[in-house]
Amino acid sequence: MKNKRNQIIYWISTILVAIIFLGSAFMKLSGSEVSKEMSNGVGGNENLIILGILELVITLFWLIPKTGIIGTLLGIAYIGGAISIHFVNNQPITVPIIIQIIIWLAAFCRFPELLQRIKNKL
């Protein structure tokens, strides 16, 4: 029973993080109104396109099991940058922090060795 529960958590967390990054990437690449408002905070539409492509790359690394840890680290760094951009522009930082927590929890679920390494260092 526990193994099946872990598999369900594994897939839900993996898909949730992928949806977050894919949704954000498509918003940036499609030129939606929300992304146009965001472009002021990150330096214009050219940067939004680059960020959208970067989010697609992070999603690809995240979904491939062999590169999942690299995708995790890139995603954590990317969201850390988003938190700082929100902070500097006096925007609420709650959503990026929640996304950061989801990525960490999903990473610990997907890669138990990552959690073990962190525990060993503490």
For the stretch 113-122, pLDDT in tens is: 888 888 887 7
DSSP 50: H
Give the three-class secondary structure for 93: coil
Q: Which helix (H) or strand (E) holds 99?
A: helix 94-110
- Return the SS3 of 89: coil
Kindly report the pTM of this predicted structure. Answer: 0.85
pLDDT digits (tens, 9 = 90+) for 25-62: 998 888 777 776 766 666 666 778 888 999 999 999 99
